[in-house]
């Protein structure tokens, strides 16, 4: 797809403007939460949009400073003693990410279960909604999209913050957020407004908030929202002051072992968060495109090196901005690139105007994004999809992320998902019921193309439940790979276990490298025009029975 396709040019630029409005307070808030200069967050947003957006293979992902890195950055700056030394660690981290991309480490993302990704998206949606409540009611205590967690004493800081927000709410902010939400809902529900794609509802919602608050100011109303609850962009008084906001890395700290430890930590966490967000972005893509994750790691690495070299924070692919991009109609990476340019133009030319935007209006935009990510329809879909095998890991991921943080929550979700995979493999993954077979009958066991260690428990249970004095044919004619542990299990059953149970075992189709001698030699797979695979069973006098009869007397080891 062409970067400047006229088909999506207008929608991409409009989406870029909405993402810019969402990203602006995020950049400032994350920088503040990280203990870094506010302008460092703006630099990271610009680099994430222009540099990473240009080099990335993702059409929808938007990169910038990430809330998930705030704790690491805050601790690292204190440990290293200066922000400049931290910038050096960020450059090294970018170099490590670049090497990971060339090493094709992006393949890790292919092993992330969809239920965990869906859980991550829903959890982030809930977190977005909760974290924006203080902004919506005019109690500015939580920085934008900061992932909160349970404290060491067992308390949950966000709950207390929300209660305080309600107790000390600002009536003017409440008016603005309700008006902004009304505009967004109107644009989503009204078919006439939906056709006017040149005007995004989120942008109109922001303008509405600005006009309402300016009306409060002009009339001298007590509802006027003060600067404390507005966007706070640095306003340099001269060009030299503007340049003074950039920082230079301290390259003399390269011999400090702590710098390298911080770099490795940043590279690992930033890469994992990026791969998670890329998987999520691909799932949200209306055009169902796929991102080359190795290319993405390279782009992120170069982006981090550039950002930290000029005094910016490290960047990752960020799901909040990506969600805003998708929901606003972005379809190519021009949206991400344009949002970076909008940030650059804004901080240079119109910081005073941007500082009039109420945080309550931006909270309304994020409310709508969060609701789409954590919609009740998502939970219903996951339940109907596969009951507990998909739903439980999904819900556990949601709860774990909200209770801890993004990476820990995803790790817990992965652990639960793997548990269900292993539990599923403990069950008979093929058509075998003991009561359908009688003593003396021949049972045909056809192994799949690949038999891994995950199948070991299922095969072991099958051997234990075989009827005594029966006949078992283990057919490996179609297998390409059999795990060593599984081979040993089959050998032991053939040599010892089967004899104790009085079962006659025939081995068919085992390759020479398996070092198992076949006891029968015949072709076991033929093509049936009425079925995908037919597994014939040798019967008396060399005759073969039709496929529909075979299915009653045979079962197949399923692949993982």
Could you tell me which of 271, 321, 320, 314 has the C-alpha nearest to residue 296? 271
Tell me the CATH architecture of domain 434-556. Answer: 2-Layer Sandwich (3.30)
CB 439 within 8 A of CB 466: no
Could you tell me which of 241, 560, 283 has the C-alpha nearest to residue 422? 560
**Confidence at residue 462, expressed as pLDDT on a 0 to 100 scale:** 82
**Confidence at residue 72, expressed as pLDDT on a 0 to 100 scale:** 83
Per the DSSP assignment, residues forming a β-bridge with 507 are 474
Q: 450-451 and 442-446 as β-strands: parallel, antiparallel, unpaired? A: unpaired
DSSP state for residue 229 in the 8-state scheme = G
CB 22 within 8 A of CB 362: yes
Helix ranges, 466-546 (H): 484-492, 498-501
Name the residue with tokens 């099958």.
462
Length of the chain: 560
Ranges of residues in the chain with a pLDDT under 50 are 1-2, 141-156, 428-431, 433-435, 523-560
Q: 531-534 and 526-528 as β-strands: parallel, antiparallel, unpaired? A: antiparallel
Kindly state the percentage of the chain with pLDDT values over 90. 31
Tokens of residue 59, six digits: 């059409």
**Confidence at residue 560, expressed as pLDDT on a 0 to 100 scale:** 39
CB 304 within 8 A of CB 94: yes
- The Cα–Cα gap between 378 and 224 comes to 38
User: Cα-atom radius of gyration of the chain, to the nearest Å?
Assistant: 30
- The Cα–Cα gap between 425 and 458 comes to 6
Residue 296 CA from chain centroid, whole number: 14
Per the DSSP assignment, residues forming a β-bridge with 528 are 531
Residue 81 CA from chain centroid, whole number: 33
Terminal-residue alpha carbon distance, the chain: 35
- DSSP reduced 3-state for 532: strand
Name the residue with tokens 């891994």.
452
Domain residue spans in the chain? Answer: 9-400, 434-556
CB 276 within 8 A of CB 103: no
- The Cα–Cα gap between 553 and 433 comes to 10
CB 348 within 8 A of CB 22: no
CB 147 within 8 A of CB 433: no
CB 402 within 8 A of CB 409: yes
Name the residue with tokens 């056809």.
446
- The Cα–Cα gap between 554 and 430 comes to 9
The DSSP string of 340-376 is HHHHHHHHHH-HHHHTTSBHHHHHHHHHHHHHHHT-H
């Amino acid at each position: 797809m062409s970067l400047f396709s006229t088909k999506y040019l207008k929608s991409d630029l409009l989406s870029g403007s909405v993402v810019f409005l969402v990203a602006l307070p995020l950049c400032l808030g994350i920088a503040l939460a990280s203990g870094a200069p506010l302008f460092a967050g703006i630099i990271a947003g610009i680099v994430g949009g222009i540099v990473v957006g240009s080099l990335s293979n993702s059409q929808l992902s938007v990169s910038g400073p990430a809330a998930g890195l705030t704790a690491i950055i805050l601790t690292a700056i204190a440990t290293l003693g200066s922000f400049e030394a931290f910038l050096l660690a960020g450059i090294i981290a970018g170099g490590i990410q670049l090497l990971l991309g060339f090493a094709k480490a992006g393949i890790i993302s292919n092993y992330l279960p969809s239920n965990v990704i869906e859980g991550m998206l829903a959890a982030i949606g809930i977190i977005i909604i909760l974290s924006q409540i203080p902004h919506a009611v005019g109690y500015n205590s939580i920085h934008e999209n900061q992932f909160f967690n349970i404290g060491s004493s067992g308390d949950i800081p966000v709950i207390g913050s929300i209660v305080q927000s309600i107790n000390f709410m600002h009536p003017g902010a409440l008016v603005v957020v309700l008006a902004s939400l009304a505009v967004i809902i109107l644009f989503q529900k009204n078919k006439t407004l939906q056709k006017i794609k040149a005007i995004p509802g989120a942008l109109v919602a922001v303008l509405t908030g600005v006009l309402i608050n300016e009306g409060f100011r002009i009339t001298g109303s007590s509802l006027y929202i003060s600067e404390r609850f507005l966007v706070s962009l640095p306003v340099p008084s001269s060009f030299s002051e503007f340049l003074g906001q950039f920082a230079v890395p301290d390259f003399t700290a390269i011999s400090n072992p702590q710098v390298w430890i911080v770099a490795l930590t940043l590279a690992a966490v930033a890469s994992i968060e990026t791969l998670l967000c890329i998987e999520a972005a691909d799932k949200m893509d209306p055009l169902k495109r796929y991102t080359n994750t190795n290319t993405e790691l390279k782009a992120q690495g170069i982006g981090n090196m550039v950002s930290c070299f000029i005094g910016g924070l490290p960047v990752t692919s960020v799901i909040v901005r990506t969600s805003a991009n998708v929901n606003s109609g972005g379809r190519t990476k021009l949206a991400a690139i344009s949002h970076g340019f909008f940030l650059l133009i804004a901080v240079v030319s119109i910081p005073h105007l941007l500082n009039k935007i109420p945080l309550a209006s931006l909270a309304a935009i994020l409310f709508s994004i969060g609701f789409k990510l954590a919609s009740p329809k998502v939970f219903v879909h996951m339940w109907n999809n596969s009951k507990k095998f998909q739903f439980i890991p999904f819900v556990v991921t949601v709860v774990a992320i909200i209770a801890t943080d993004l990476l820990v929550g995803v790790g817990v979700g992965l652990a639960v998902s793997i548990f269900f995979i292993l539990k599923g493999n403990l069950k008979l993954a093929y058509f075998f019921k003991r009561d359908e077979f009688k003593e003396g009958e021949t049972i045909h066991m056809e192994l799949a193309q690949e038999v891994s260690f995950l199948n070991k428990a299922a095969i072991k249970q099958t051997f234990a439940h075989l009827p005594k004095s029966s006949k078992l044919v283990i057919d490996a004619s179609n297998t390409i790979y059999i795990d060593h542990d599984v081979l040993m299990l089959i050998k032991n059953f053939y040599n010892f276990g089967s004899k104790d149970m009085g079962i006659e075992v025939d081995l068919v189709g085992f390759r020479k490298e398996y070092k198992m001698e076949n006891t029968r030699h015949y072709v076991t797979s033929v093509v049936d025009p009425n079925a995908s695979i037919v597994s014939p069973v040798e019967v008396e006098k060399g005759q073969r029975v039709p496929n529909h009869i075979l299915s009653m007397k045979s079962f197949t080891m399923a692949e993982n």
